[in-house]
Chain A
């Protein structure tokens, strides 16, 4: 219930809000309009929503559930055979009862692929968010402060970027040991420098623009300049990059799982599942095929969305 005070009508704060931010709201509406027109971006978003929905609904959509057992202090998934509808069999080809077939233990592959969605999304989130925050912050400070700080940060960035990222990630997981958390650490360590380079470039160009100059001349503090004027204007390329990277991180994390450096064997993780299929490739092709399709769809979604966002947010292509 709104309280009537003075001249303000009920819901007055809302109208004030709309008036204050009229230009931003129309900008947002225009962005949404552009987004709806971009069919590939919409397709990308739908694919992402599909993967997210599967991640949350996997326990209801699956025909077989994993149980968790404690091995050496780590909870690991064990897929029970006996709770399958009907009698289970190993190496069953795709059928109505087992749309993606079964593996060498008689595990229903369809259920396992569904459970894999949440693992991949979790890795994506827990890598892209910290990496983009750390990287952007360093880039912001480097670009804004300049001088020795910039020199040091950018040289360190160069060093990290001079090792191909998958190779550095493999070396790090090899050192830390096989687990999905270590994959995340490795990917954060390899991914932040891209954001530092990106944001620093943005900051350098925005710093020279007139509105920053005028804010400075009015007496805005450096912190205020950085956070209120430079940061908001360098966010959109970071969003585009983060969307793309979400896909690449899923791809790379699954790749490390495939190589035997990621999640432990038996986990419902798409990369691990592909490599388990590799052992029985010529007897049970479905074991490698279906987890791979899942990776392709997820990566495709984030890629299309990122591509679309780049076109939509690019000021040169607007209007």
Chain B
């Protein structure tokens, strides 16, 4: 099977999954015990307003036709008004998404290389001190709650605290409040400030990014490190590694060309899963570091039982998560000739 056939086949297989997610979201919405009209209009709403809301949203129709109505709105991009701030949900998501993507990408840019590097070194120097330190990091990264790590960093970097009193990194927001944000092109403050040639903004944006990205990346780093290490240990024990060494291939090539190329399977798969846990971690990190992304928005929606916001967010995150895994599978299939594309 050709690669493009594989991609098409996987894309078609995604359709039922996405539809299934919309069903789950729909069931959740119908399970909300409060009348959405009341939570949207407030308790002082007049009966005719409530009736109007019910009619607009087809709230009194039979369930299947309500679902079709909901799907119709989803497909046409009319995702309804937000319960958090009454703007259209789609606009809200578009406003908040770049901040989350900037944070998540920064976290992955830190977690992936460091995790892979430590994993490889740790496997090469098995049971030496580098290995012990790496394994300690791997264990801590899984056991330390991301929300607690963020709070600990805030304590360490706060000026008023006698504990450490480091006052070098900002703790809240995306940019110094005295600065004007760069004109929006990509929505990433770091990139936009470069495009606007605004050095002050750029430095401030990067400084604001460091602590949240580290917090978010630490757990992902630990998982990636763990999988890379065990994948490398398995591969390094194989015969062809011994053959490569015996015929005098430089150690560097043995590790990276013969070893890591074959150990990428585990690392890539786990990298796909970390995209999901990074989106989940965003909810914590954004609310701790006052980062105005979709994670914080989602939490606000959850606390206000805002169903339009919840449905929109669930849909967007699932699509991102599923496509990230698809991209990784395709990359993997393209990189490794051993993968049978025909299998399920």
Contact = CB atoms under 8 A, between A and B. Distances in A.
Nearest to A288: B151
Interface stretch (A18-26, A158-166, A227-235): A158-166
B314 A299 contact: no
B151 A259 contact: no
B108 interface: no
- Main SS class of interface, B: helix
Contacts of A165: 276, 280
Contact of A289 (B21, B155, B288, B298): B155
Contacts of A163: 21, 24, 314, 317-318, 321
A174 B276 contact: no
Interface stretch (B121-129, B139-147, B177-185): B139-147
Interface residues on A, range: 35 or more
Nearest to A165: B280
Interface string B169-197: 00000000000000000000000000000
B301 interface: yes
Interface in B263-288: 276-277, 279-280, 283-284, 287-288
B298 A170 contact: yes
Contact of A255 (B29, B140, B284): B284
B62 interface: no
Contacts of A258: 145, 147, 284
Interface string B294-309: 0000110111010000
A203 interface: no
A247 B139 CA distance: 12
A261 B303 contact: yes
A273 B142 CA distance: 21
B17 A171 contact: no
A295 interface: yes
Most buried by B among A170, A288, A289, A296: A170
B145 A255 contact: yes
B280 A167 contact: yes
A156 B151 CA distance: 37
Contact of B143 (A158, A260, A274, A300): A300
The 10 closest A-B pairs by CB, nearest first: A159-B20, A174-B302, A166-B280, A292-B148, A164-B276, A300-B143, A299-B143, A164-B280, A288-B151, A175-B32
Interface of B: 16-17, 20-21, 23-25, 28-29, 31-33, 139-140, 142-148, 151-152, 154-155, 158, 160-161, 163, 276-277, 279-280, 283-284, 287-288, 298-299, 301-303, 305, 310, 313-314, 317-318, 321-322
